[in-house]
Amino acid sequence: MTLMALFHESADTAEVIDELHNLGIADNKIVVITGLPYPEGALGRHREWLTLPYIVLAGAAAGLGIGLFLAVITPHLYRLDVGGHPPVGFPPAAVIIFIFTMMATIVSTFLGVLWEMNFPRFGPAPYHKLVTDGHLAVILDIPTRLEGQVRQMLETHHAHHVGEPERMTL
């Protein structure tokens, strides 16, 4: 079953998560929602591994390729001589290749992060509006037998609004 609890303080939240770990509830069954980013490890959980850097590198390579094609290959496709310069010169080619690499890096970072976050996602999801007012929400997926224990532990740590999470359309 799923439970959601709201907390005022990050210290309480961290302790609750430790207790949950002690009760044997794995990290992937706990979702912590906050209105501001907390530093790594502040709430006792591991950072997940991201594919974003690889997406960015792939994007940069693609940009390099496009830049190379436009700057180095297109002048040979329809050859037009201009005064005093060879069809492909190093400085203009360098500028174009650089710009396209950076353009692709930026675009792939943006699209990559959206893809990795599975955005846009507008369906119903567990959420509470008070999160943006400074509360920390913890959403748990626990076996029913532990419900009583967990609720007890949440109360001890000053949780409020404990209950089934409302699936809000976001």
Partner 1 sequence: MSEPEDMAQEIRQTTPYDERLLLAQRTDSEINQAVLQPMLQTGKGFWVLVTGLSLIVAWGVYAWSYLIYWGIGVTGKNRPVYWTLFITTFVFWVGISHAGTMISAVLRLLKADWRRPITRGAEAMTAFALMMAGLYPLIHLGRVWKFYWMVPYPNNRLMWPNFQSPLMWDMVAIFTYLIGSSLYLYLALIPDMAMARDHTGSWRFKLYRVLALGWRGTEGEWHKLHRALGIFSVAIIPIFLSVHSIVSWDFAVTIQPRWHSTIFAPYFVIGAVYSGLSALASILVVVRRGMRLQEFLRAEHFDSLGKLVMVAGMAWVYFWFAGFIVEWYGNEPVVRELIREEVSGHLAPFFYLQMSANLIPIALLVFKRVRTTPALLLATTLLVNVGMFTERALIVIGSLQRNDLPFNWGNYRPTWVEISIVAMTFAGFALLYTLFSRIIPFVPVWEIKEGRLRYTMRRIGRLLVPTAAEID
Partner 2 sequence: MATDANLSVENDRRWVLVVDLDRCTGCQACVVACHAENNIPVVGEKQAAYGRWMHWIIIQRYWEGEYPNVKARFMPVMCQQCTEAPCEPVCPVFATYHNAEGLNAQIYNRCIGTRFCGSACPYKVRTYNWFRPEFPEPLIEQLNPDVTVRTRGIMEKCTFCIQRIRRAEIDSQAEGRILADGEIQPACVQTCPTSALVFGDLGDPDSRASQLARSHRSFRLLPELGTDPGVIYLKGGETNV
Binding site for partner 1 (CB under 8 A): 31-40, 43, 45, 47-48, 50, 52-53, 56, 70-71, 74-75, 77-78, 80, 82, 85, 89, 92-93, 95-96, 98-100, 102-103, 105-107, 109-110, 112-114, 116-117, 119-123, 125, 127, 129, 131-134, 170
Residue 13: Cβ-neighbour burial (10 angstroms; 0-12, 13-18, 19+) = buried
Phi-psi region of 62 (alpha: psi -120 to 50; beta: other; left: phi over 0): alpha
Specify the DSSP class assigned to residue 130: G
Q: Which among partner 2, partner 1, none contacts residue 81 (Cβ within 5 to 8 A by kind)?
A: partner 2
Position 134 contacts partner 2 (CB under 8 A): no
Q: Which among partner 1, partner 2, none contacts residue 84 (Cβ within 5 to 8 A by kind)?
A: partner 2
Cβ atoms 56, 112 nearer than 8 A:
yes
- The owner of tokens 């201009």 is 82
Residues near partner 2, by CB under 8 A: 79-87
